[in-house]
Amino acid sequence: MRPLFILKCIIFFVAFFPLANFVKGQDTIKYFLKDNGRNGVVVNDAENADFVRIVSTSKLSEKNLDVNEYYKNGRLKFKGTGIASTLDKVKGQISYEGNTIDFFPNGKRKIIGSYRNGERNGLVYYYYPEGGLYLTMNYKDDWHGATFPIVEECYDRNGAQICIKGNGVAIEYDEQFNERLRGPVKKGLREGEWDGQLFWDPDTIKYKYFYKNNGKLSSESVDQFGKHYRFEKSYAEAHTENDLPYFMIDSISKDRSILSSGGVSPRIKFVLDKTGQVTKVEIINPFPDTLMNTIKQSFINAKIWVPTKLYGMPVETEVQTSSILIVFIKGYKAIMLEYYTTALKNGIPMSEFERQHFLQLLTPK
């Protein structure tokens, strides 16, 4: 029973450790977030954040909470209401309900629509950064009770309508509104071959998706040298196996200064090349030299990284940990590692990057 009790204590401590990532006022909670194209990833401070989410807590006893987001330039990014019972006070994530509106950094509207029980519902209007209408989607209920999107209309950058009443051609863009895919639509669903091309200096990547009734049958890409790649995800995040936390436990726990301190929480960044090799390891927050060298070597020597892949092609990226928590309690040691990657070159569809989470590990010292 004793190890189980210790594990519960560690998990409790880990769960509340990220509380430093937000600022609580009298009636609001402010979260600093990195934009990942979805709900955002909490970071440690405003300097590393892309935007701020402010959740009103003055109505916590009621069903919905006011949620407002702001860009660094002070302009409104998002306005809507969230379901009070779904608020994650640590990560700042919440499910939305009712009408919402998103804005581009230039202040022009980006998305106008609504949510029901945290899912898109009904007609949703998407706009170009210049202000013109880009896409109308209709989120309908399926027989499972969930919603699925149907293309109603699509317009190109010149304002020409290329899809009418769910039939024609549709365009998909990345977060920077570079064209990512273009292909036929039939009765609001993707059908046939969709083509895309990414100019990613010095590489050019061409790729194809094959659909039937909106279901993806297959996908492939080809690089500038004619080499073909099969892929499931357009952007596959760099990752490692659970051996890394175990490896770090063995390496770092040999440092007596850590054992005597009871725990540490370093932040690290490094470059991961196309082969999965770790280079240019840096400690972001200051620690004693001996500890920094130990941590650096644990990342370099692990050699168990799988590189980031873009349309199946391995690419070089920078990896930065948001937190590494190492705790020692009464003869046991635990570690939690969280990280995310950023591109070293322009062109990676960062709306799709996924923060990786590793479960807490507990082993005897």
Last residue of a domain, which of 96, 112, 143?
A: 96
Last residue of a domain, which of 230, 249, 267?
A: 230
**Total count of domains within the chain:** 3
Residue 276 to residue 170: CA distance in whole angstroms: 36
Q: Averaged over 337-356, what is the pLDDT?
A: 47
Residues 215 and 317 in one domain: no
Last residue of a domain, which of 230, 264, 289?
A: 230
Q: Residue 5 falls within a domain, yes or no?
A: no
Q: Residue 31 falls within a domain, yes or no?
A: yes
Residues 195 and 279 in one domain: no
Residue 323 to residue 300: CA distance in whole angstroms: 18
Of 257 and 358, more confident: 257
Residues 243 and 349 in one domain: yes
**pLDDT score, position 235:** 79
* Residue span of the structural domain in which 143 resides: 98-230
**Angle between the 243-252 and 289-302 helix axes, to the nearest 10 degrees?**
150
Q: What is the mean pLDDT of the chain?
A: 77
Residues 169 and 268 in one domain: no
CA 141-143-144 angle, 5° bins: 90
Q: Residue 178 falls within a domain, yes or no?
A: yes
Contacts 24+ apart (CB under 8 A), 318-321: 318/269, 318/270, 318/271, 318/272, 318/342, 318/343, 318/344, 319/238, 319/269, 319/270, 319/271, 319/272, 320/267, 320/268, 320/269, 320/284, 321/266, 321/267, 321/268, 321/269
Which tokens belong to 223? 């690089």
Which tokens belong to 30? 């402010």
Q: Residue 3 falls within a domain, yes or no?
A: no
289 Cα distance to chain centroid? 32
Q: Determine the residue type at 255.
A: D
Q: Residue 13 falls within a domain, yes or no?
A: no
Residue 187 has pLDDT above 80, yes or no: yes
Highest mean pLDDT among 2-11, 65-74, 263-272, 332-341: 65-74
**pLDDT score, position 13:** 41
Q: Residue 2 falls within a domain, yes or no?
A: no
Q: Residue 1 falls within a domain, yes or no?
A: no
Q: What's the predicted TM-score (pTM) here?
A: 0.67
Q: Residue 14 falls within a domain, yes or no?
A: no
The Cα-based distances of 152 to 164, 174, 223 in angstroms read 7, 20, 34
| Terminal-residue alpha carbon distance, the chain | 17
Please report which confidence band the pLDDT of residue 42 belongs to, taking 50, 70 and 90 as the band edges: confident
Residues 91 and 106 in one domain: no
Residues 105 and 179 in one domain: yes
Q: Are 46 and 32 in contact (CB under 8 A)?
A: yes
Residues 182 and 216 in one domain: yes
Q: Are 27 and 57 in contact (CB under 8 A)?
A: yes
Q: Residues 2-18: pLDDT tens digits?
A: 444 443 443 444 343 44
The one-character DSSP state at 307 is P
